[in-house]
Amino acid sequence: MQIPMLAPVLKLLIIVAALSAVFVLSACAPASEDRAPPATVEIVRSDSGYQLLRDGEPYEIHGVGMVADDFAALTARGGNSIRTWTTADDEGDMMSLLDSAYEHGVTVALTLPMQAERHGFDYSDAEAVAEQLETMRGEVKRLRDHPALLFWIIGNELNHGYTNPKVWNAVNDVARMIHEVDSNHPATTALAGSSEEVVRAVLERAPDLDFVSFQHYGRIFELVEHLDRVGFDQPFMITEWGTLGWWEMEQTTWGAPVELTSSEKADVYWRAYNEIMAPLAEQLIGSYAFLWGQKQERTPTWFSLLTERGEQTEAIDVLDQIWTGQWPAERAPRVQAITLNDQGPRDNVMILAGESYEAAFDVASGSDDELAFRWEIKPESDATQVGGDFEKPIPSLDGIIADPQSPVTEVVVPERGAYRLFAYATDRNNRAAHGNIPILVEHGYRQSADALVAGEVMAVAYSGFREGQHPDRGEGAVNPSREEILEDLNLLIEHGFGLIRMYDSGEKSRTTLELIREHDLPIRVLLGIWLRAELSNHEGCPWLDEPIPDDELAVNVTENQVEIQRGIDLAREFDDIVVAVNVGNEALVDWTDHLVELDQVIAYVRQVREAIEQPVTVAENYEWWIREGAPLARELDFLGVHTYPVWEGRSIDEGLSYTVENMMAVHRAFPEKALAILEAGWATTASQFGERANATAQLRYFREIDQWARLTNTTVFFFAAFDEPWKGNPDDPLDAEKHWGLFFVDRTPKKVLK
């Protein structure tokens, strides 16, 4: 990680501050000719291990990364050394920084800004490498005699995204040059991580380094294993360490990394030092915590030991204890919880645009004084930078938080999008606690809880046909056995489903209802009534090659009446299990192969509603409802909507938003009608969808639609419970129709349920 060039305005402020500091320091800072001579720094080995000596005396580094003068605050906490990420003056006067460090008794590890391959530098370009070496030589000569200088760091994380091992030969040339022109200070290079491959390459190609330095965040807890694997027995430093990196944390479904609270970060610092670093004392000759200062990296708080206002966080208390051996008398505030709508940072928090939600920040004060609170909300970062490269700060948004200075407040976000809600609590010692919650804001409506089918939010569509089984295709059905159906029901219950949708009122549906009753299973059923084609839609349906014969259509009319009566009978007989009845499934859309006249569907609906007590619906595509559904909607207790973003070419990043758009459009068309999603899903394999079909996308879609459905009180029947090989193209095993299940056909759960 590195501290890149600052934004122009911020740089100007630093320059102004630096110029002011020059006048303040001029009375006490020695002129260059009056400075003490450079310290002699060396590494020796004793019976107790490797040790860093400064002017012949053991020197224990209490270090942090720092780019601006905050030495008084650092030394007050027991710190005595800083490292930089450059020797250049483009972020302030380096010589003045060294002078101030010396006046405060602080040493400085200076980083020579070697160019990284990932920034376009070619280490096979001998001329460019030689020119860079001479630039480094000039920097070493310019700064080598300063008494605050402790050692040189040759480049920072040059292995980050690199492919050319010649970089280590170039590092070795710089190390050799340093030994020629500066005999007082050792040289190292700072590696991102400690992988065996990189360590071996550095040891082989850069033998003139005095020691190697590693930079670790969450993976510091793997450091011992890494060193053992490479047989590393040399002295080393850790030139960056701290909280878990954003790349190491879990993410929301929309890709926002979850950030630890300031207190959780402090705990990571404590564990990293005591569990890993302290036991390595025989080889570890120094360490620098990251970062004493503030920078934007995905958030303004991620790696910063200070807030944007300069407040010190709890991790500094940990460093204080490590460096001095005792905790400060008054500790920083400690975060107990941060919530929005009773959900925390790891809960994939979603809210509806324009709706009000309660935010709460629960913090324990480390002293007797009251805490001052503040809230901020920012758009989620869309940065793609890595390695600590510069990220532009993100302004906070106004007018969203009702009372930004209260520990409990209301939040209303007017526009959909990804945001992050920040909370801070500060005591009179200028010590602060902070936390944040990534949030996704979506459009939506608020239905009454009574609109939920059987009070359930997430339900599942269930057919249950296994290998060699299928519904009646004109030759009779091959149904699963009672034992197989019971196994399915128990699996669904085990994974939290209490409501299923079935598509017909045939023998399999009766068996399923009987098993639920016999075994007193905690599962309820949206029963289906399947309507066969009463019109030939061969001109509209892509897979009907020729007209359906009139005699077959006539038989279907009779069969539909029989099916209607079967559905009525099952709803009556199992009225304790059947919570609603669906009449027809996609029998009205213009591409269906089982088309029925709208007036006839309305007649069937009326017949069913007159005969049963349960609510009645019809399942159709969202588009049909908006365009043609008004006459039918008047006859129904609620509308059953189908929506499949992946079928309509949407990526998973668009999946939820497209579903919401569809549902919002239906809601606008029928604002007084309750809505339920009777089918929505994401295939895990599909020749039709390519890479868009995968288990990770299904997991994301399930989680996001679940969150949205809970906010809107909308029941969602996720399609489908199990993969069904009978569906789709019989000659294409990758056909999408076969792979919508939450379980594979062998009944093992997919990623979404694991």
Please provide the DSSP assignment of 661-690 as one string.
Answer: HHHHHHHHHSTTSEEEEEEE---SS-TTTG
Identity of the amino acid at 116: A
Specify the pLDDT at position 367: 75
Closest listed residue to residue 532, CA positions, set 587, 597, 570, 604: 587
Considering only CA atoms, give the Rg of the chain: 34
Angle at 432 between CA 431 and CA 434, to 5 degrees: 165
Q: Residue 720: is the preceding peptide bond cis (ω within 30°)?
A: yes
Query: Where does 492-594 show beta strands of DSSP type E?
Result: 499-501, 524-529, 578-585
The whole-angstrom separation of Cα 476 and Cα 465 is 14
Residue 359 sits in a domain whose CATH number is 2.60.40.10
Q: Taking phi first (over 0 means left), then psi (-120 to 50 degrees means alpha), and beta for anything else, what does residue 354 get?
A: left
Residue 435 and residue 504 in one domain: no
Q: Helix axis angle, 196-205 relative to 223-230, nearest 10°?
A: 50
Phi and psi dihedrals of 398, rounded to 5? -100, 160
Q: What is the DSSP string of 142-211?
A: HHTT-TTEEEEEEEESTTTT---THHHHHHHHHHHHHHHH-TTS-EEEEEES--HHHHHHHHHH-TT-S-
8 Å CB contact between 375 and 422: yes
Specify the pLDDT at position 366: 75
374: which residues sit within 8 A by CB, 6+ positions away? 404, 405, 423, 424, 426
Q: Looking at the domain assignment, is residue 298 inside a domain?
A: no
Last residue of a domain, one of 442, 471, 489: 442
**Three-state secondary-structure class, residue 387:** coil
Last residue of a domain, one of 419, 442, 465: 442
How many domains is the chain partitioned into structurally?
3
Residue 505 and residue 620 in one domain: yes
8 Å CB contact between 669 and 626: yes
Closest listed residue to residue 718, CA positions, set 696, 734, 702: 702
CA-to-CA separations, 664 to 414, 458, 460, in angstroms, rounded: 16, 19, 22
Residue 510 and residue 427 in one domain: no
Specify the pLDDT at position 442: 98
**Three-state secondary-structure class, residue 501:** strand
Residue 119 and residue 134 in one domain: yes
Specify the pLDDT at position 1: 54
The whole-angstrom separation of Cα 559 and Cα 93 is 89
Residue 543 and residue 461 in one domain: yes
**Three-state secondary-structure class, residue 377:** strand
The whole-angstrom separation of Cα 95 and Cα 89 is 8
Q: Looking at the domain assignment, is residue 299 inside a domain?
A: no
**Three-state secondary-structure class, residue 431:** strand
The helix/strand count (H/E) of the chain reads as 17, 26
Kindly tell me the burial class for residue 329, based on how many C-beta atoms sit within 10 Å of its own C-beta (0-12, 13-18, 19 or more).
exposed
8 Å CB contact between 609 and 616: yes
Closest listed residue to residue 194, CA positions, set 155, 169, 247, 157: 157
Residue 665 and residue 516 in one domain: yes
Residue 478 and residue 429 in one domain: no
pTM of the model: 0.90
Average pLDDT by consecutive 10-residue portion of the chain (754 residues)? 40 34 36 78 94 97 96 98 93 91 98 96 98 98 98 97 97 98 98 96 98 98 96 97 98 97 98 98 98 97 98 98 96 97 97 98 87 98 94 97 98 98 96 98 97 98 96 88 98 98 97 98 98 96 95 96 98 98 98 97 98 98 98 98 98 98 98 98 98 98 97 98 96 97 98 96
Last residue of a domain, one of 184, 209, 241: 241
E strand or H helix that includes residue 555: helix 550-573
Residue 123 and residue 45 in one domain: yes
Residue 80 and residue 185 in one domain: yes
3-state helix, strand, coil in the chain (%, to 5): 35, 25, 45
Tokens representing 714 are: 């909308």
Range of the domain at 191: 8-241
Identity of the amino acid at 708: W
Q: Looking at the domain assignment, is residue 125 inside a domain?
A: yes
> Which is it for the CA torsion 700, 705, 711, 715, positive or negative?
negative
**Three-state secondary-structure class, residue 405:** coil
Phi and psi dihedrals of 749, rounded to 5? -75, 145
Specify the pLDDT at position 513: 98
Q: Looking at the domain assignment, is residue 729 inside a domain?
A: yes
Q: Looking at the domain assignment, is residue 530 inside a domain?
A: yes
Query: Where does 488-561 show beta strands of DSSP type E?
Result: 499-501, 524-529
8 Å CB contact between 719 and 682: no
β-pairing verdict for 432-442 and 417-426: antiparallel
| CA 492 distance to own-chain centroid | 28
Kindly tell me the burial class for residue 33, based on how many C-beta atoms sit within 10 Å of its own C-beta (0-12, 13-18, 19 or more).
exposed
Kindly tell me the burial class for residue 557, based on how many C-beta atoms sit within 10 Å of its own C-beta (0-12, 13-18, 19 or more).
middle
Tokens representing 672 are: 């007084």
Q: Looking at the domain assignment, is residue 62 inside a domain?
A: yes
Residue 438 and residue 458 in one domain: no
Phi and psi dihedrals of 277, rounded to 5? -75, -45
Residue 423 and residue 471 in one domain: no
Q: Which residues of 159-173 are buried (b: 16+ CB within 10 A; e: fewer)?
A: bbebeeebbbebbbb
Q: Looking at the domain assignment, is residue 592 inside a domain?
A: yes
Q: Looking at the domain assignment, is residue 295 inside a domain?
A: no
The whole-angstrom separation of Cα 291 and Cα 276 is 19
Residue 611 sits in a domain whose CATH number is 3.20.20.80
> Which is it for the CA torsion 438, 443, 446, 451, positive or negative?
negative
Residue 370 and residue 462 in one domain: no
The whole-angstrom separation of Cα 676 and Cα 451 is 8
Query: Where does 275-407 show beta strands of DSSP type E?
Result: 284-289, 334-340, 350-352, 356-364, 372-379
